[in-house]
């Protein structure tokens, strides 16, 4: 019932999805053209339409994403923020889907929706287990710091941020994230 038998075109479908993620990540929603994606996947643009219907649905398929947040129940309190930031950096650098979501989410409502959904369904529950009250607010603040870091480092490439090593980034931002997770406002 749930199992779809493999088709001969699965390779092409996967190539399209891979190329789409690349282009959306590099160029954003409007500048990533179906024609360019098709060229990257070495097939005809009309195939993209046949397999994914239209550009919007192609993006939806390419923007499927799991943060894969680790289980932090065994991690000592003082290290939670450090582990979390390291994990986010890994996800940003190891999977271009997040970049596609960020670049597209700034101008495309559906992409922004997906972004909200991801943080609401995946980060908030983690904050619920970790934080002493107000998990929504805390999760939102952590998200804002992580997103700001990604924006500065990977998209805008602010020189002071790109100049930092991974370890420096973690060391500097960990206290801020720790404050959002367990601290109190002024």
For the bound state, the minimum distance from the C-beta of residue 2 to a second copy, rounded and expressed in Å, comes to 32
* Position among 18, 40, 55, 147 found at the interface with DNA (CB under 7 A): 55
Residues that bind a second copy (CB under 8 A): 27-28, 30-31, 82, 102-103, 105-107, 112, 115-116, 119-120, 124, 136-137, 139-141, 143-149, 151-153, 155-161, 163-164, 168, 170-176, 179-180, 183, 185-186
For the bound state, the minimum distance from the C-beta of residue 95 to DNA, rounded and expressed in Å, comes to 23
**Residues touching DNA: how many (CB under 7 A)?**
22
Residues in the chain: 186
Given the complex with a second copy, which of 12 and 145 has the nearer CB atom? Answer: 145
The per-residue DSSP string of 74-104 comes to: TS-HHHHHHHHHHHHHHHHHH-THHHHHHHH
The per-residue DSSP string of 143-186 comes to: HHHHHHHHIIIIIS--HHHHTS-HHHHHHHHHHHHHHHHH----
36 neighbors 9 (Cβ within 8 angstroms): no
Chain contacts with DNA (rule: CB under 7 A): 7-9, 11-12, 32-36, 42-50, 54-56
């Amino acid at each position: 019932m749930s199992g779809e038998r493999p088709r001969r075109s699965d390779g092409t479908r996967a190539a399209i999805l891979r190329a789409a993620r690349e282009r959306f990540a590099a160029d954003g929603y409007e500048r990533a053209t179906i024609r360019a994606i098709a060229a990257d996947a070495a097939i005809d643009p009309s195939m993209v339409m046949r397999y994914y219907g239209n550009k919007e649905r192609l993006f939806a398929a390419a923007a499927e994403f799991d943060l894969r947040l680790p289980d932090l129940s065994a991690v000592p309190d003082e290290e939670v923020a450090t582990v979390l930031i390291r994990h986010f950096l890994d996800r940003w650098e190891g999977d271009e889907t997040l970049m596609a979501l960020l670049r597209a989410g700034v101008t495309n409502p559906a992409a922004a929706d997906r972004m909200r959904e991801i943080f609401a369904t995946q980060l908030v529950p983690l904050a619920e287990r970790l934080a002493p009250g107000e998990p929504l607010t805390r999760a939102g603040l952590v998200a804002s710091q992580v997103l700001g870091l990604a924006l500065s480092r990977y998209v805008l490439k602010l020189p002071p941020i790109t100049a930092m090593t991974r370890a420096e980034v973690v060391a500097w931002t960990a206290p801020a994230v720790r404050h959002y997770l367990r601290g109190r406002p002024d």
